[in-house]
């Protein structure tokens, strides 16, 4: 491997698009990691042959950079693993990223923990990522920093490599200024982000929140979509704007038409006893996803006899996530207890009410679930975007499914013909389920067609191009 290789486009995210997996016999392999980010960026990286810097998902293993070939979109890109040791995983990843920032940025659905030691580790690890990027970025390269785990990297990278054009994109919401103000290191985080030339968010609302935080907490001026950052020799302009992320819509459409996937979907329906309605939820097992809320709604409908266990089956895929973080462990217990209660009360020997699957599935199997599902339930309490909603829509080539979508997911800004719900309103979810079950074919088709058109027009390549073109135009000067 040529250690001096330099790249014009470098993406950096906490997690690499592949996980290092070591089997019981000690043999190590690479496996695609879960999460929307990978799905979103893989096609972009494959077409532009760049480098991707990130953590390989294992502790303390020094791994050499390598070429990753043959992703979904074909092509290849360079992978640069960044090493994290066990205490860094505890303090930086599980701690500051996922027990401080994650709950704070998702409107305190869980209580954020503030620990100075975690913060110090976050600073240190961000520095390591910044250095790793600086080493592989060609002169004048474009670097795209992803997500809340790496908010300090833009500023740290600019300090080492002022020649680089730096973009930052937040996949998760940016909280209201009053919530963000809780963070003891709020100024440092804002300064970290303002090291970028362009700060991207999912929704217009996130941009507003960010602008307000910058004005109130740093006292900087903003004008339209630009922050005026005072520097030693004047002012540097940092742009911020919304770039709602999408998916590789064509790939999902192709899967939706694939005879093997369709046969598998039919098999799933038969295995469930051919119920009239299959409801589906697919989420990382996360408290932001509102899984309990939808289970409660479904359970109540069964209890009230408004749906029958033989007629309607709910499949809930819960992809394991952040399993050593306490709030996630409690959530899992809660959800599994709820599923067991519903099944104990309503399942019969032949029919199960909730089919709960706590694992991840290959993309083809996910597509078969999407094809089989008559109703998709996305009831997130807060979600940056929610790509599952868009994947369901893209896969639904018969235009025959119904999407129940939370108003608090970024996707609701775009998928306006979904059945929009407030996930806190259990009666509202119940009504939406009943409405979807009785919806005419004409209405289902009309709603789904409009959503599919949107997802196809605004696919992930268009998203990445729009962002990278805007970044290219940034020059730090006033607009
Ligand atoms: C969300 C975040 C991503 C993250 C993914 C999976 O989508 O926005 O940054 O990679 O969840 O979470 P994990 O903690 O397993 O990386």
Q: 7-245+462-473: what fold?
A: Rossmann fold (3.40.50)
Question: Which of 257, 338, 335 lies closest to 302, judged by CA?
Answer: 338
Tell me, what's the pLDDT at 21? 81
Ligand 1 pocket residue status of 172, Cβ below 6 Å: yes
Q: Which residues are bridge partners to 360 per DSSP?
A: none
> Rounded to whole angstroms, how far apart are CA atoms 2 and 179?
47
Which of 11, 13, 14, 15, when mutated, tests ligand 1's pocket best, judged by the most ligand atoms within 8 Å of its CB? 15
> Rounded to whole angstroms, how far apart are CA atoms 178 and 137?
37
- 152 vs 457, more confident: 152
Ligand 1 pocket residue status of 147, Cβ below 6 Å: yes
Tell me, what's the pLDDT at 17? 83
Residue pair 181/215 in contact by the 8 Å Cβ criterion: no
CATH class of 249-457: alpha beta
- 470: its two tokens: 């805007």
Question: Which of 56, 59, 75, 55 lies closest to 67, judged by CA?
Answer: 75
> Rounded to whole angstroms, how far apart are CA atoms 397 and 250?
11
pLDDT digits (tens, 9 = 90+) for 333-351: 999 999 999 999 999 999 9
Tell me, what's the pLDDT at 127? 98
> Rounded to whole angstroms, how far apart are CA atoms 51 and 65?
10
> Rounded to whole angstroms, how far apart are CA atoms 53 and 229?
28
Tell me the whole-structure pTM to 2 decimals. 0.95
Q: What DSSP designation does 49 have? A: T
Residue pair 293/429 in contact by the 8 Å Cβ criterion: yes
Q: How many angstroms is it from 193 CA to the middle of ligand 1?
A: 19
Ligand 1 pocket residue status of 321, Cβ below 6 Å: yes
pLDDT digits (tens, 9 = 90+) for 214-226: 999 999 999 999 9
Tell me, what's the pLDDT at 58? 84
CB atoms within 10 A of CB 306: 13
Average pLDDT of span 281-308: 98
Residue ID of nearest Cα to ligand 1 atom 12:
35
Residue ID of nearest Cα to ligand 1 atom 11:
35
Q: What DSSP designation does 413 have? A: G
- 400: its two tokens: 């025959």
Report the SS3 class of residue 283.
strand
Ligand 1 pocket residue status of 37, Cβ below 6 Å: yes
pLDDT digits (tens, 9 = 90+) for 101-130: 999 999 999 999 999 999 999 999 999 999
Write out the DSSP string of 50-100: -EEEEE-SSBS-----EEEE--TT--EEEEEE--B-HHHIIIIIIIIIIII
Q: How many angstroms is it from 475 CA to the middle of ligand 1?
A: 30
Q: How many angstroms is it from 318 CA to the middle of ligand 1?
A: 14
Q: CATH 3.40.50.2000 in the chain: give the residue spans.
A: 7-245+462-473, 249-457
Query: How would residue 41 be classed by pLDDT, with cut points 50, 70 and 90?
Result: confident
* For residue 141, pLDDT beyond 90: yes
Write out the DSSP string of 205-243: HHHHHHHHHIIIII--EEETTEEEEEETTEEEEEEEEE-
> Rounded to whole angstroms, how far apart are CA atoms 173 and 122?
19
Write out the DSSP string of 3-47: TT--EEEEEEEEE-SEEEEE-TTS-EEEEEPPSHHHHHHHHHHHH
């Amino acid at each position: 491997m040529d250690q001096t290789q330099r790249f014009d486009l470098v993406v950096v995210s906490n997690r690499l698009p592949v996980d290092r997996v070591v089997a019981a016999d000690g043999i190590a392999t690479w496996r695609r990691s879960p999460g929307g980010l990978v799905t979103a960026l893989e096609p972009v990286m494959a077409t532009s042959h760049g480098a991707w810097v990130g953590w390989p998902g294992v502790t303390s293993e020094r791994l050499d950079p390598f070429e990753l070939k043959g992703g979904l979109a074909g092509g290849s890109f360079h992978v640069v693993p960044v090493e994290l040791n066990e205490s860094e995983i505890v303090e930086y990843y599980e701690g500051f990223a996922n027990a401080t920032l994650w709950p704070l940025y998702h409107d305190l659905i869980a209580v954020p923990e503030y620990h100075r030691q975690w913060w110090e580790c976050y600073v240190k690890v961000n520095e390591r990522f910044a250095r790793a990027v600086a080493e592989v970025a060609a002169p004048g390269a474009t670097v795209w920093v992803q997500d809340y785990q790496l908010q300090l990297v833009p500023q740290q990278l600019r300090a080492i490599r002022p020649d680089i054009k730096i973009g930052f994109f937040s996949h998760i919401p940016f909280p209201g200024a009053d919530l963000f103000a809780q963070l003891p290191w709020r100024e440092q985080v804002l300064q970290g982000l303002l090291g970028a030339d362009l700060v991207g968010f999912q929704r217009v609302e996130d941009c507003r929140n960010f602008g307000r935080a910058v004005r109130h907490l740093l006292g900087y001026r903003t004008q339209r979509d630009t922050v005026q950052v005072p520097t030693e020799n004047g002012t540097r302009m940092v742009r911020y704007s919304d770039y709602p992320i999408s998916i590789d819509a064509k790939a999902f459409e192709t899967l939706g038409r694939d005879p093997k996937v369709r046969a598998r979907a039919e098999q799933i329906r038969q295995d469930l006893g051919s119920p009239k309605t299959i409801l589906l939820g697919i989420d990382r097992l996360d408290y932001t996803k509102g899984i309990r809320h939808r289970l409660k709604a479904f359970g109540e409908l069964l209890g009230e006899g408004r749906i029958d266990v033989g007629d309607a089956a709910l499949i809930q895929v819960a992809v394991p996530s952040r399993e050593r973080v306490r709030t996630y462990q409690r959530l899992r217990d809660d959800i599994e207890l709820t599923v067991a209660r519903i099944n104990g009360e309503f399942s019969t020997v032949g029919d199960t009410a909730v089919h709960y699957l706590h694992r991840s599935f290959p993309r083809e199997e996910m597509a078969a679930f999407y094809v089989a599902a008559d109703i998709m339930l996305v009831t997130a309490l807060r979600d940056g975007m929610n790509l599952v909603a868009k994947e369901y829509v893209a896969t639904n080539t018969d235009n025959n499914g119904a999407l129940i979508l939370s108003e608090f997911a970024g996707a609701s800004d775009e998928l306006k013909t979904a059945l929009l719900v407030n996930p806190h309103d259990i009666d509202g979810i119940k009504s939406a389920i009943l409405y979807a079950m009785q919806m005419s074919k004409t209405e289902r088709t009309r709603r789904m067609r409009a959503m599919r058109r949107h997802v196809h027009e605004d696919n992930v390549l268009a998203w990445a191009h729009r962002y990278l073109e805007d970044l290219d135009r940034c020059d730090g000067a006033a607009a």
